[in-house]
Structure 1
């Protein structure tokens, strides 16, 4: 049943090593299908480069991008759930937070009005959500993501945590920087999460 599906979300600000963490986890969780980031595919489909959706120059394009990312993410997760696949993903409510932080409350409101969002929130509340904190040591420019200062990323992290709390989505804060320690911490949280589910 869909309620028994294990869903793991690695989320948080950009340039925090979420995808690296996901890839480091893969050998340890072969039962979890990797739900790849959809953002790059959407950007490519539009033929956009980063300058096309920088929020302070093109807020409407940035809002459109994040709406499309969220819609695609919900659709893909629904397909995985209907197929009974356990999965791990390197984003969760990220598009909503990006809209709120970089465009404003109206962008957040648009995404909160998308079809299927309430059901998606319910599934998130039954999932293991890891919120990754930023570290200045791993900030880098990949020409796709936004480039931000550590102060901006910390502020973004706080907005992210506030939105998770507002939506009553439980999460685990991951402050560790060392890659091996990160993996061990997530695997330990996953074990606790799965154990707690078998009690009921």
Structure 2
């Protein structure tokens, strides 16, 4: 790693693609190498937001306005978490990003919902941080599709891959460069290596 300020890392993608596990493995990797300063972790904010605003996954899929309220709240929570670390000049590894709610708004509400979120001032700041950082998309299609009872789950493998493609499409549309973590790479050390070699 160079002496330049480390770039922030964003681990994103469809549900159950090993994102949180990869974030935890990266934290362990940098801790074991005594990287100074060590990265902070921006944990997934969506579950806490869902509890706080009392929106359930049934609402997300069936009530467009409730879905958008949730996605806006997730963007705000992501912005708050990142901004707290930016103020402290800490670099971080983020489990999800400001782009995630926009992807789900587009899938569940449509282009109007997507556009509403893109016009939020907080979103534009989050997007710029992604462009200045390193973005990794964990590909759908591995063996980790498990219902945790909280998140909205894909109905089947086909829908799972459709969500995966929606992430890549929006990244491309917004001019955000990314690296794919292939579903065929299942060994955690190998997945960590994909991130580290781009760092």
| Pair in the same fold by TM > 0.5 | yes
**Which residue number in structure 2 is paired with residue 177 of structure 1?**
186
Once the two structures are TM-superposed, the CA of residue 137 in structure 1 deviates from its matched residue by 1.3
Distance change (3 Å), C-alpha of 1:5 and 1:78: farther
Structure 1 spans left out of the alignment, 5+ residues: 191-200
**Which residue number in structure 2 is paired with residue 20 of structure 1?**
21
Output the CA distance in 1 between the equivalents of 2:30 and 2:10.
13
CA RMSD, Structure 1 to Structure 2 (Å): 1.7
C-alpha distance after superposition, 1:89-138 (max 9, x if no partner): 11121111010112111111111111233333222111010011012411
Once the two structures are TM-superposed, the CA of residue 178 in structure 1 deviates from its matched residue by 2.6
Once the two structures are TM-superposed, the CA of residue 80 in structure 1 deviates from its matched residue by 0.9
Output the CA distance in 1 between the equivalents of 2:83 and 2:164.
27
**Which residue number in structure 1 is paired with residue 140 of structure 2?**
134
> Scaled by the length of structure 1, what TM-score is found?
0.86
**Which residue number in structure 1 is paired with residue 48 of structure 2?**
41
Output the CA distance in 1 between the equivalents of 2:110 and 2:24.
32
Output the CA distance in 1 between the equivalents of 2:52 and 2:177.
34
Could you tell me which of 60, 63, 81 is aligned with 2:65?
A: 60
Secondary structure, aligned partner of 1:189: coil
Q: Contact 2:75–2:123 (CA<8 Å) still a contact in 1?
A: no
> Scaled by the length of structure 2, what TM-score is found?
0.87
Once the two structures are superposed, the pairs formed by residues 1-200 of structure 1 within 5 Å of their partners are 4=5, 6-30=7-31, 31-51=38-58, 53-55=59-61, 57-92=62-97, 93-148=99-154, 149-175=156-182, 176-190=185-199
**Which residue number in structure 1 is paired with residue 34 of structure 2?**
none
Output the CA distance in 1 between the equivalents of 2:112 and 2:191.
35
Q: Contact 1:135–1:177 (CA<8 Å) still a contact in 2?
A: no
Q: Give the count of matched residue pairs.
A: 186
Secondary structure, aligned partner of 2:137: strand
Once the two structures are TM-superposed, the CA of residue 47 in structure 1 deviates from its matched residue by 3.3
Output the CA distance in 2 between the equivalents of 1:46 and 1:126.
31
Structure 2 spans left out of the alignment, 5+ residues: 32-37
Output the CA distance in 2 between the equivalents of 1:10 and 1:98.
16
Output the CA distance in 1 between the equivalents of 2:173 and 2:60.
27
Distance change (3 Å), C-alpha of 1:5 and 1:189: closer
Secondary structure, aligned partner of 1:116: helix
Output the CA distance in 2 between the equivalents of 1:80 and 1:64.
25
Output the CA distance in 2 between the equivalents of 1:123 and 1:48.
28
